Amino acid sequence: MNKLSNKVALVTGASKGIGAGIARRLASDGAKVVVNYTTSEREAAALVTEIKAAGGTALSVRADVRNKSEVDALIQSTIARFGGLDIVVNNAGIYQFARIEDTTEELYRQQFDLNVLGPLLVAGAAVPHLGQGGSLINISSFVTRILPADSAIYSGTKGALDAITGVLSRELGPRGIRVNSVNPGLIETDGTHANGVMGSEFQTWNEQQTPLGRIGQVEEIAAIVSFLASGDAGWVSGEHIIASGGMR
């Protein structure tokens, strides 16, 4: 029996990048997986097809996690289709670096709405359905430890998310729900290709500063999420697992 058999997992922003890698891994570990997306319907459908072809169970559901009624509908679809919810991964997120002089309300709202309001709305809607053994995992970032220049808004969102992880581990622990974050270093994803980070000086700087001498891959983050979602992490809550090849 796979370690996540009989579990239902929701992964936000799972049509691409780290979220897609997490959905793929949780499904291969036996969970029934909801692949959430907003615009990338084709990619989400292709991932569901791939999971099913490998013998897994998955469903794609469109919902903008910044919108409470869409989040509520996402959770209802999950319960209606799979009969429960055990694992929630708040992965959907956006990163836009900017010098402090270039801060705009738009940059602030885009990043705080998706990276902070989104996880709060998803947690709030999901928690009533999570029982003993439930696992909530927030995808934060190593930026909360290395505090790179030009990232005040983005690092601010992930600092807020780390605080939320700690608060919810206290608030939900008495109900048997564990809450943790994974804080990745630079990972090769659709997003880091699309925004030009791949091949940039920032990638080179990361490789030079990282003891393991490279950037990370989505599978390396997915493996940690799978551990945190499983009973193997039954005594782990309120933790921030920094997965950055040793970069601090």
Under the rule (CB under 6 A), what is the footprint of ligand NAP? 12-19, 36-40, 64-66, 91-93, 95, 114, 139, 141, 184, 186-187, 189-192
CB of 186 to ligand NAP, least distance (A): 4
* Bridge partners of residue 58, in order along the sequence: 33
Cβ-based nearer residue to ligand NAP, 95 or 97: 95
Is 37 tagged catalytic?
Answer: no
CB of 91 to ligand NAP, least distance (A): 5
- DSSP codes joined into one string, 11-66: ETT-SSHHHHHHHHHHHHTT-EEEEEESS-HHHHHHHHHHHHHTT-EEEEEE--TT
Of 116, 91, 118, 95, the C-alpha closest to 14 is 91
Counting Cα atoms < 13 Å in the Cβ hemisphere of 206 gives 22
Of 186, 182, 194, 190, the C-alpha closest to 233 is 182
Q: Which of 37, 95, 108, 154 is catalytic?
A: 154
User: How far is 168 from 178, CA to CA, in rounded Å?
Assistant: 9
User: How far is 97 from 133, CA to CA, in rounded Å?
Assistant: 37
CB of 176 to ligand NAP, least distance (A): 26
CB of 64 to ligand NAP, least distance (A): 4
- DSSP codes joined into one string, 149-205: TT-HHHHHHHHHHHHHHHHHHHHHGGGT-EEEEEEE-SEE-HHHHHTT-TTSHHHHH
* Bridge partners of residue 182, in order along the sequence: 139, 241
Cβ-based nearer residue to ligand NAP, 114 or 125: 114
Which residue, chain included where needed, has tokens 């969970």? 31
Cβ-based nearer residue to ligand NAP, 113 or 133: 113
Cβ-based nearer residue to ligand NAP, 91 or 180: 91
Cβ-based nearer residue to ligand NAP, 42 or 175: 42
CB of 236 to ligand NAP, least distance (A): 20
CB of 96 to ligand NAP, least distance (A): 10
What's the one-letter identity of residue 194?
A
Contact 12, 212 (CB under 8 A): no
Cβ-based nearer residue to ligand NAP, 2 or 150: 150
By annotation, the residues acting in catalysis are 154
